[in-house]
Amino acid sequence: MTFWDKILFAFLIGISAFGLLFQGLCSPDTQCNKVKISIDGELYGLYEFSDRTQKIDIKTRFGENIVKIDKTGVWVDEASCKDKLDIKVGKINKAGQVIICLPNRLMIELQNSERKVDGVTY
Amino acid sequence: MKFAYKDKLTYSKKIVITAFLISIGTVLQICENLFNVFSIPGGKLGIANIVVLVDFFLIGSKNALIVASMRAVMGCLLFGGVSAFPYSFFGALCSTAVMIVAKNFFTRKLSIVGISIIGGVIHNLTQLTVASIIFGSFAIYTYMPVLTIIGAIGGMLTGYATKIFCEKTGLIEL
């Protein structure tokens, strides 16, 4: 490694550490309870955390996923994709966190319930 | 850095070497897909990038573009499926293009390790951009910091692997 290699490496690590820190500071510690599920960029449904466990079967032409929501968070229980990355992510419960299943084009976002977005286009 | 083999190759030898590199790269890519170390889409070390970097020294930059794009096509045909194709293809193409630019402009300052780091990070950035276009949402960019760290570390490891390989086989005369 030359001097400039080290500079580049340190710069990239530094900037992403700053990004992680920024994300940590911006997302509030309080639990967020609005769940937005979209398939292939289009809205599939809006859900909220509830005391009993909700089970959402998502069957589209891209694949099948079973999403579960209870009062502590949202997670993907079963998926028809090969890599199962969306199951490995586990449970999410903070605003700004996302679960993505690339093969099934599924995206689960947690939205902040207090802050209003200026405008969203679909 | 001095290229030892580049000028001694005939045209047919270049074709054979290109075919070998594409097949080795495809196998590396399939092997890499079997082990998902990180639970993030695109969070891979990028071992298949080694063949592209070796090709820089063996034949040249233009050939590296062919190897990278063909490797992505072959890997998707054999293993990844159609849904993985745009991520793999554009990621490989863009990262190789940026690595060529970096190699031509910063060759005094950056070694092969630095070029590999740039390639790894650009690969992840391109994949995220493709994903954000497909999903129509920018929320995917929340993975960017983690993917940059993984890309930089993976790029460093593959860069060192390439450097060791090239030194042992005498591709670079230091």
**pLDDT for position A14:** 93
CB atoms within 10 A of CB A25: 8
Question: In this prediction, does ipTM exceed 0.85?
Answer: no
In chain A, which among 26-55 make CB contacts under 8 A with chain B?
A: 38, 40-42
Nearest-angstrom CA–CA distance, B125 and B119? 10
Q: Are residues B53 and B1 in contact, defined by beta-carbon separation less than 8 angstroms?
A: no
pLDDT digit string, tens, across residues B28-52: 888 887 776 776 776 788 888 899 9
Indicate whether B95 pLDDT > 90.
Answer: yes
Please, what sign has the CA dihedral across residues A26, B123, A100, B27? negative
Nearest-angstrom CA–CA distance, A120 and B142? 18
The reply to whether B41 touches chain A by the CB within 8 Å rule is yes
Nearest-angstrom CA–CA distance, A53 and A49? 9
Nearest-angstrom CA–CA distance, A54 and A101? 20
For B99, phi then psi, to 5°, come to: -65, -35
| B2 pLDDT tier (thresholds 50, 70, 90) | low
B25 sits in the region (left: phi over 0; alpha: psi -120 to 50; else beta) called: alpha
For A100, phi then psi, to 5°, come to: -130, 135
Q: What is the pTM of this model?
A: 0.82
pLDDT digit string, tens, across residues A51-97: 888 888 888 888 888 888 888 888 888 888 777 777 877 888 777 77
Nearest CA in chain B to A88: B39
Q: Taking CB atoms and an 8 Å cutoff, what residues of chain A touch B114?
A: 1-2, 4-5, 8-9
Q: How far is B20 from chain A (nearest CA, A)?
A: 28
| A28 pLDDT tier (thresholds 50, 70, 90) | low
Strands (E), chain A: 34-39, 42-48, 54-60, 63-70, 73-79, 98-101, 106-111
Q: What is the mean pLDDT of residues B118-143?
A: 87
Nearest CA in chain B to A90: B39
**Number of C-alpha atoms within 13 angstroms, CB side, residue B31?**
11
Nearest-angstrom CA–CA distance, A41 and A21? 28
